[in-house]
Structure 1
Amino acid sequence: MTFEASLAETLRTFQALSSLRPAIDRAGDLVLATLARGGKLLICGNGGSAAEAQHFSTELVGRYQKNRRALPAIALNSDGSLLSCIGNDYGYDDVFARQIAGLARPGDLVVVLTSSGNSANILAALAEAKKLGLDTIAFLGRGGGKAKGLATCELIMPSESGAACQEAHLFLIHHLCERIDAAYAT
């Protein structure tokens, strides 16, 4: 893909985000309600989406733009020893679900990121969250894949480009962080 074509696809994706505004607002409401009740965010993804999960959790535990208290969030893809243990003993499909089973408490929120919506470990994470009665937010792309319809709130990026979906996911993470800063800044 040429630079121009890639830029055009990304711009098309970003311009179409306003059509997701009700879901974007709902996702923000879920995050803020979770934090207000003392819950934590359990965030996960694979590959580039794993990097975005880590980015989101660091913005919460650290800070985004304004000073505020540390907020509880864990990127479930960050602990290599734990991932390899679960992957070896149970299979890679269970690397996130097993952590949700062990770490989640009532009132927590599970956030998944996947540009395809078809990752087996993401589907298992959503199933485990549902089993535990937890709310979920799914950042999806390419029509949502098999994950479509499985989350409390889904943000399906309007693109077939995995790169454009991930770029839009990061933009929305930053938008959520702006809402969090507004609620918690000191």
Structure 2
Amino acid sequence: NDFGYESVFVKQVEALVNEGDIFWAISTSGTSPNIVEATQLAKEKGACILAFTGKTDSKLERISDICFCADGPTARVQEIHQLGFHIICKLVEQNFCE
């Protein structure tokens, strides 16, 4: 309760993210303060930033190394993001778990 909502993910990033990690940030607007703050810290710690957003030229896109922007209505953006999650998870599974 001592930290605001904007910092809800910062403690996890401080404890778990290391240089060379991949940090996956997801925000439909690309401007969610809690996601942007955590992503900025992950970048400062040397992580590669992969982002999914629904808006081009958002704060999240500008601080990301790789950004998938699916512009459109919120529900459609989230459906596209969900498909992207499944594709990436399947690729990780095929390449590292089989």
TM-score, normalised via structure 1 length: 0.49
- Which one-letter code corresponds to 1:134 in the other structure? A
The structure that has the greater radius of gyration is 1
Shift of 1:105: 2.3
2:18 is equivalent to residue 90 of structure 1? no
Q: Which residue of structure 1 lines up, in the alignment, with residue 37 of structure 2? A: 124
- In 2 relative to 1, CA 144–113 (structure 1 residues): closer, same or farther, beyond 3 Å? farther
The whole-number CA distance in structure 2 between the counterparts of 1:137 and 1:149 is: 11
RMSD over aligned Cα atoms:
1.5
The whole-number CA distance in structure 2 between the counterparts of 1:132 and 1:121 is: 17
Shift of 1:106: 2.5
* Structure with the higher fraction of residues in helix conformation: 1
Shift of 1:181: 2.5
Q: Which residue of structure 2 lines up, in the alignment, with residue 175 of structure 1? A: 87
Q: Which residue of structure 2 lines up, in the alignment, with residue 112 of structure 1? A: 25
Shift of 1:144: 4.9
- Which one-letter code corresponds to 2:5 in the other structure? Y
The whole-number CA distance in structure 2 between the counterparts of 1:98 and 1:106 is: 16
- In 2 relative to 1, CA 144–114 (structure 1 residues): closer, same or farther, beyond 3 Å? farther
Is this contact kept in 2: 1:100–1:125, CA < 8 A?
Answer: yes
Alignment size in residue pairs: 98
Gapped regions of structure 1 (runs ≥ 5) = 1-87
Is this contact kept in 1: 2:24–2:49, CA < 8 A?
Answer: yes
Is this contact kept in 1: 2:21–2:46, CA < 8 A?
Answer: no
Identity rate, percent: 30
Structure 1 stretches of 4+ moved >6 Å: none
- In 2 relative to 1, CA 185–101 (structure 1 residues): closer, same or farther, beyond 3 Å? closer
SS in structure 1 of the partner of residue 89 of structure 2: helix
Post-superposition Cα deviations, 1:26-80, rounded to whole Å, max 9, x if no partner, equal xxxxxxxxxxxxxxxxxxxxxxxxxxxxxxxxxxxxxxxxxxxxxxxxxxxxxxx
Q: Which residue of structure 1 lines up, in the alignment, with residue 16 of structure 2? A: 103
Is this contact kept in 2: 1:116–1:144, CA < 8 A?
Answer: no
- Which one-letter code corresponds to 1:168 in the other structure? I
Q: Which residue of structure 2 lines up, in the alignment, with residue 133 of structure 1? A: 46
Shift of 1:96: 1.0
Is this contact kept in 2: 1:142–1:162, CA < 8 A?
Answer: no
The whole-number CA distance in structure 2 between the counterparts of 1:181 and 1:150 is: 27
The whole-number CA distance in structure 2 between the counterparts of 1:104 and 1:175 is: 23
Q: Which residue of structure 2 lines up, in the alignment, with residue 70 of structure 1? A: none
- In 2 relative to 1, CA 147–178 (structure 1 residues): closer, same or farther, beyond 3 Å? same
